[in-house]
Amino acid sequence: MNRFLLTLVTTVVFALSSAAYAVDTKIGGLLEQIVGAGNNADGGVTDAFTRISAGGSTTTDNGWTVGGSFAIQYQAMNGGANAGYAPSGNSMYIATDVATVTIGNHMGVAGSTPGVSAMVPGGGIDAGYQFSFDGGNLGTNGVQGRAAYYAMATSGISVALPTVNGFTVKATYSPDMSKNSSSTGSRVQSAISTSHGEVAQLLATYTGETDGMSYTIGISHLAGNGQGASRSDNAAHSNSDLSAWDLGIKITMGDLTIGASGFDNGDSFGATTDADKASNSGYNFAATYAMGNVTIGAGYSHQEMVRGTNAQALATKLTSAAANNVREDNFTLLGIAYNMGGGVNTFLQLSNNDHSDGDHATTEADPTIVFAGITLGF
């Protein structure tokens, strides 16, 4: 009997090994180091996106492509609480002639509008390297220069239809936004959560060419039910439903690329009973010029937020500003990047940051930061 079991186990192992060889597998990752310094800011050495990823894909007997990937991101030791590893994606997909379906922990489609906020070498404000040295942002709700939940890997299902005449339509459904890459712990099983509940995302893009110019236009909308009570005051007030827009355009003419984008989260992060309604919106402009391995660029980003009556009452970062004050952040960016080849990229960015809580009696620190980085993709 033992010999039979041993033979059976050996047969299964060899069968699984043979099946594995039919899968196209890849392992990769990113190493990076960032050095920054400036006035009104603490300089130093850090990183933000050091990670390792693995994926695989295969073709089934009926011609479908089935694959998946996962990524684990290492968080720099910036004081103990932020040390450790955090899953930043874990999903599978099935690609057919009709549609591609992705299920698991992955970024929703609303984050795929033209990424103008990331254009300037050094990641613009999208990579957020300057915020490793400047924690004074006042006009944001968790993401910089984009609509709500941008780039968060959420547990959900996405459907991408085939591109037809330059038009592409995609959608994502997330049963519970409290289960995303920025959450701590497991799924929240109560009405009290800092995230919205079920959320639907819809994205439409168009890519075209004319007279030597190529362009991409995109618009997305996020809609979902109200968030948990902790955004107001523990169930005494109902929270606003999610309704957010993100749109952008990027135009390339030879070596020159220009772009503009905007977002509006409305009162999605406020309470329905607010006397002073919450709001959050912003816009980005950027231009880059490529000269062989060297790329130079410049950009400007603006974001603003009104906390709303109940959020202001519970805010942990209180200032003398009232609930209806418009809190703003403005960023002027200059950057240069050099691709050294072999997967190695370097960059230098100057970021001039201007913060305001809307109260002229308050004096905020407005850092000017210079940071340089080197990355190795493999």
Share of the chain above pLDDT 90, in %: 61
What confidence tens digit (pLDDT) does each residue in 183-221 have?
Answer: 554 454 444 556 788 999 999 999 999 988 999 999 999
pLDDT band at 29 (very low <50, low <70, confident <90, very high): very high
Assess whether pLDDT exceeds 80 at residue 90. Answer: yes
Residue 23 pLDDT: 87
pLDDT band at 179 (very low <50, low <70, confident <90, very high): confident
Give the integer Cα–Cα distance in Å for 298 and 119: 8
Give the integer Cα–Cα distance in Å for 269 and 288: 34
Residue 245 pLDDT: 96
Residue 76 pLDDT: 62
Assess whether pLDDT exceeds 90 at residue 167. Answer: yes
What confidence tens digit (pLDDT) does each residue in 287-302 have?
Answer: 999 999 999 999 999 9
Cα 219 to Cα 62, 111, 120, 168: the distances in Å are 34, 10, 21, 11
What confidence tens digit (pLDDT) does each residue in 102-134 have?
Answer: 999 999 999 899 989 999 999 999 999 999 999
Q: Which is nearest to 141 in space by CA: 265, 321, 229, 319?
A: 265
Give the integer Cα–Cα distance in Å for 334 and 125: 11
Give the integer Cα–Cα distance in Å for 13 and 18: 9
> How confident is the model over 31-57, as a mean pLDDT?
93
Q: Lowest-confidence range among 77-86, 96-105, 282-291? A: 77-86
What confidence tens digit (pLDDT) does each residue in 135-156 have?
Answer: 888 898 878 899 999 888 888 9
pLDDT band at 83 (very low <50, low <70, confident <90, very high): very low
Task: Please give the structure tokens belonging to residue 287.
Answer: 């231009």
Is 82 exposed, middle or buried, given 0-12, 13-18 or 19+ CB atoms closer than 10 A? exposed
Residue 42 pLDDT: 86
Cα 186 to Cα 143, 172, 190, 199, 275: the distances in Å are 21, 21, 12, 18, 34
Task: Please give the structure tokens belonging to residue 212.
Answer: 């030597």
Q: Which is nearest to 177 in space by CA: 151, 199, 200, 159?
A: 199
pLDDT band at 182 (very low <50, low <70, confident <90, very high): low
Residue 307 pLDDT: 86
Residue 1 pLDDT: 44
Give the residue, 314 or 23, on which the prediction is more confident. Answer: 23
User: Any idea where the domains of the chain sit in the sequence?
Assistant: 91-377
Question: CA-based Rg of the chain, rounded to a whole angstrom?
Answer: 23
Q: Determine the topology of domain 91-377 in CATH.
A: Porin (2.40.160)
